[in-house]
Amino acid sequence: GQQLNQSPQSMFIQEGEDVSMNCTSSSIFNTWLWYKQDPGEGPVLLIALYKAGELTSNGRLTAQFGITRKDSFLNISASIPSDVGIYFCAGWGSQGNLIFGKGTKLSVKP
């Protein structure tokens, strides 16, 4: 079935550093979504991308929809402690269901 491969699996960074994570697939996705999950909470949508090549920002977060429609990346600039959590990419599968990557766990050292 369709899969999303997310990397890295985890990151340990210093407060103030920039972060980059990405998501790839062997199949084409027409929408890419990025979610963040805080401990003990459900995922929250950060950014949605609907067009190949699209670059969208949400505060310190920037995400891009790859030209091939098989990848996407998420950047976080000037990280702060509250950026800690698990970041998931997701895309709509061919059967109409949302498919999630395995997540990137971000830890920020003050």
Partner 1 sequence: DSGVTQTPKHLITATGQRVTLRCSPRSGDLSVYWYQQSLDQGLQFLIQYYNGEERAKGNILERFSAQQFPDLHSELNLSSLELGDSALYFCASSVSQGRGETQYFGPGTRLLVL
**Does residue 59 touch partner 1 according to CB under 8 A?**
no
Neighbour-count burial of 98, counting CB atoms closer than 10 A to its CB (0-12 exposed, 13-18 middle, 19+ buried): exposed
Residues 70-109 that bind partner 1 (CB under 8 A): 88, 90, 92, 95-103
CB 28 within 8 A of CB 70: yes
Listed ranges 19-27, 43-51, 61-69, 70-78: which one lies at the site for partner 1 (CB under 8 A): 43-51
Q: C-beta of 108: minimal distance to partner 1 in Å?
A: 22
Hey, how many other C-beta atoms are within 10 angstroms of the C-beta on 101?
23
Chain residues in the site for partner 1 (CB under 8 A): 30-31, 40-45, 48, 50, 88, 90, 92, 95-103
